[in-house]
Structure 1
């Protein structure tokens, strides 16, 4: 078996996937119930792998959400993937009271197997003519009940799941609409699974309190040290290598709870030792105990993560420029100061998130106009944080603001490792200050004052 099939982060499930009793059992139980399911946690912590482990491909359809995705886009995709063809007809109406209005009338053509009205659709495939009977049904694509009735008509045997990946990229309005629609789907017996990058419970309940006790939430965090040791043990047996206790302990410490960092460092250590596949033959297992090799592996990963994280942090900081000409508060350049504060924090300060009031105080300490940094300004900036990252194509996002706890949290699990091993002054020196009166040289903690 090749090294990349055993250790590392991959689109395909690696051989060192381990089941964790609390997490896997929670999902297994939720799948047997009737509630909607939410799988949440930081990025690269195993949400998708967990779902794929327990729900086979023929029992699910998936929509990958983006910042411009609407609820209608999601429903259209689900219907299309289930074999429903949607025909759109533009209609207009005029009255003396209102001007001409144009609306879309939708007709669904679904596979038809019984008696009644139907149309025959001819298709040519592989040189032969195939006739497929479809039933035409008018419906409202924006109405959850209409969509649910169509999905029911194409529902096959067994339980089927409609999966929403990257739910966190949707706008607040779309998330709120889906939170209400989920209640309708739950009553109709349709199952949905939502995967989101956030770290607190009850995210959707904040949008619709009626979902309380109607959804099953499955957090993929935290990862514990025994979990990491099991990954090492499984991979070691497959590759026929042995990681010394000192090397393993250092990797676990550096990871700060990120399974992605553990996997990547294990892979890097093997690469540094020249191991690209399982040791074969009568050779004894290779012992990996060189701390210098591990340090080199850490430096390699810091450099790799830096390429993405610095660019992402710069994009967030540059969000200040886009608003400065339209809002009085834009001249505060708060996204830049958010980045500065986060980069200069330790893991212990970041792991539970930074409360909005604390963040405001930290920004005021180094801001040129501290008295102008009001609570409403900071709250507004944090509320726009998800949209800012999505618009800048920061995938996955680095930060998330939880309006319930009023905390901004790191949600890219590799960012802890990067911040812990980088020089914050060097990072900020690479991020131009958006204020032309300060200049690019003001990136450091002291100069930005």
Structure 2
């Protein structure tokens, strides 16, 4: 018999980390960032920027507290125009399509923007070039009207959006996937959206509070930044406490401490550890009898699974990031990455979460006895660690790190560790980050 008045939850309800939170999730905790987001949605008029490390709950925050929105996933190949087109598509405005309606018989002349191929019912396929015209003869009482929007004209696009969007927000996921030039041109359009008024929620993986304002200065006081932040030990403890109650389990406190230590203060990594640990105990839903979860060998097995799934890919990206972009260089990027890893090994995790002082990085780089670098050059290289210049050739194939490992915030004068898996690696005991890079000759051409 189930405990009196206890609901039955699945393991996914409790420790799942899907893109959308379960309707009833006992382990969902309202944090300071959540309250700030709710207030901004309900009472303010600005755009909203939700930023922070991956797997920290940005998408769940929006799903749970943004009442009405359309979602657009950014793509690395997007231009501003294709981003506009994706927004219109989500609002069922089909740019470059034909709409059918009834009308009297006559010829229609359509002006087409952009090269486009139209499939016309009852007619042959037609190629229509930019600025070209097509005469379409109506068949009996059917007519076709081309929805013609100039995607290069932001006023025309925004007007079309305003006519159908109502009170919906536009949520742009993975804004960091866009090329820096596209981020900048789109940011320059955001002020215009507010006049209609259309509000946009931008979601990205970075650590800079003023990211959007740095792209377009006229967004000052027109965007509200919401830092999803790293999770505290107390918050992660609360998750397990609520999870144990819902599953009718008891998790050994020493194992909880170990999982927190190895999570990098990342809720996604932590919940994944708890989920795998429950599975290894055969717990897939609420238990009829109190179940004790205290097997340390199974905890180590859960940690190993997490290490392979989360940490190993991040370490692979470190090797790519450390490679020089051009031949004949002195290997500044290699020395920066190596210095950051050495600092991470030497520092307490709470200090790392707060960011590494840039002067500490500079001193560490300049302490190498092989090559001397100027402070200005080190700062310049730090500024591009998170950009498309992370793209490197590896065995003839371009490899791009869309989610940055590190982020230099000039305003705070700190380098932040964006990839929580690196913090988890610090405490894994399986790798010495200070020695994870190979010989310099591997990275410097």
**Moved segments of 4+, more than 6 Å:** 119-122, 129-133
User: 1:341 and 2:339 equivalent?
Assistant: yes
In structure 1, the partner of 2:377 is 377
Cα 1:389/1:65, change in 2 over 3 Å:
farther
Deviation of 1:340 (Å): 1.5
**Which of 277, 298, 305 is residue 310 of structure 2 equivalent to?**
305
- Contact persistence 2:334–2:444 (CA under 8 A): no
In the other structure, the counterpart of 1:323 is 326
1:361 has 2:354 as partner: no
Aligned to 2:118: none
Task: Give unmatched runs, 5+ long, in structure 1.
Answer: 92-102, 108-118, 123-128, 326-330, 437-449
1:404 paired to 2:411? yes
The root-mean-square deviation of aligned C-alpha atoms, in Å, is: 3.2
Deviation at 1:337, TM superposition (A): 2.1
SS at match of 2:15: coil
* Contact 1:3–1:267, Cα closer than 8 Å, also in 2: yes
Q: Which residue of 2 aligns with 1:76?
A: 85
Which residue in 2 is equivalent to 1:100?
none
2:95 match: 86
Paired position in structure 2 for 1:273: 281
Over 3 Å counting, the alpha-carbon distance change for 1:130 and 1:234 in structure 2 is: farther
Tell whether the 8 Å contact from 1:355 to 1:408 is kept in structure 2 after alignment. Answer: yes
1:162 maps to 170
TM-score (norm 1): 0.77
The whole-number CA distance in structure 2 between the counterparts of 1:25 and 1:35 is 16
8 A contact 1:20–1:227 mirrored in 2: no
SS at match of 1:199: coil
Q: In structure 2, what is the equivalent of residue 148 of structure 1?
A: 158
Q: 1:238 to 1:261 in 2, by over 3 A?
A: same
CA contact (8 A) 2:51 2:228 kept: yes
**Are the equivalent residues in 2 in contact too, given 1:314–1:431 (CA < 8 A)?**
no
Alpha-carbon distance between aligned partners in 2 of 1:34 and 1:132, rounded to the nearest angstrom: 42
1: distance between equivalents of 2:269 and 2:28? Answer: 16
C-alpha separation in 1, matches of 2:138 and 2:234: 58
Once the two structures are TM-superposed, the CA of residue 45 in structure 1 deviates from its matched residue by 0.4
Return closer, same or farther for 1:194/1:336 CA change in 2, 3 Å cut-off: same
Alpha-carbon contact 2:80-2:186 (below 8 Å) kept: yes
Deviations 1:272-316 (A, max 9, x none): 323233324xxx211123444434433432233332012111111
The Cα offsets for residues 364-412 of structure 1, whole Å up to 9 and x where unpaired, read as 2225212xx1233223322332213467333532222223334321112
* CA–CA distance in structure 1, aligned partners of residues 192 and 78 of structure 2: 20
1:425 shift after superposition: 5.3
CA shift at 1:54, angstroms? 2.2
Structure-1 separation of matches of 2:267 and 2:354: 18
* Residue in 1 that maps onto 2:233: 225
Change (3 A) 1:196 1:106: farther
Distance 2:253 2:299 in 1: 13
- Where 2:408 maps in the other structure, the secondary structure is strand
Q: Does 1:35 align with 2:19?
A: no
User: Residue 27 of structure 2 contacts residue 243 of structure 2 at CA under 8 Å; is this kept in 1?
Assistant: no
**SS of match in other structure, 1:205:** helix
Cα deviation 1:186-222 (Å, max 9, x = unaligned)? 1220110100112232221223333222222222124
Number of the residue aligned with 2:59: 48
